[in-house]
């Protein structure tokens, strides 16, 4: 049976792998949070250390 792998289809359609897209969005969110004021709730919870 002639199966076509999803990686080949993605390459032909010039679609980047999902994990690359997720990683880029995580880095964008991290940069957004780091530019926030130190008293912002998102920054407080992103930067907190577990006790």
Average pLDDT, integer, range 10-39: 90
Choice between 25 and 38, residue whose per-residue pLDDT is larger:
25
- Structural domain harbouring 32: 17-51
Q: For the chain, how many structural domains are there in total?
A: 1
Residue 37 domain-assigned (yes or no): yes
Residue 51 domain-assigned (yes or no): yes
Residue 31 domain-assigned (yes or no): yes
Average pLDDT, integer, range 17-45: 89
Q: What is the pLDDT of residues 13-27, one digit of tens each?
A: 988 888 999 999 999
Residue 46 domain-assigned (yes or no): yes
Residue 25 domain-assigned (yes or no): yes
Handedness of CA 9, 15, 16, 18 (dihedral sign): negative
Residue 7 domain-assigned (yes or no): no
Handedness of CA 22, 28, 34, 36 (dihedral sign): negative
Say what the pTM is: 0.60
pLDDT at residue 5 greater than cutoff 80: yes
Residue 6 domain-assigned (yes or no): no
Residue 44 domain-assigned (yes or no): yes
């Amino acid at each position: 049976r002639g199966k076509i792998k999803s990686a080949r289809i993605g390459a032909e359609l010039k679609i980047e792998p999902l994990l690359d897209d997720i990683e880029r969005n995580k880095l964008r969110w991290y940069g957004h949070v780091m530019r926030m004021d130190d008293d912002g709730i998102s920054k407080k919870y992103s930067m907190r250390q577990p006790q």
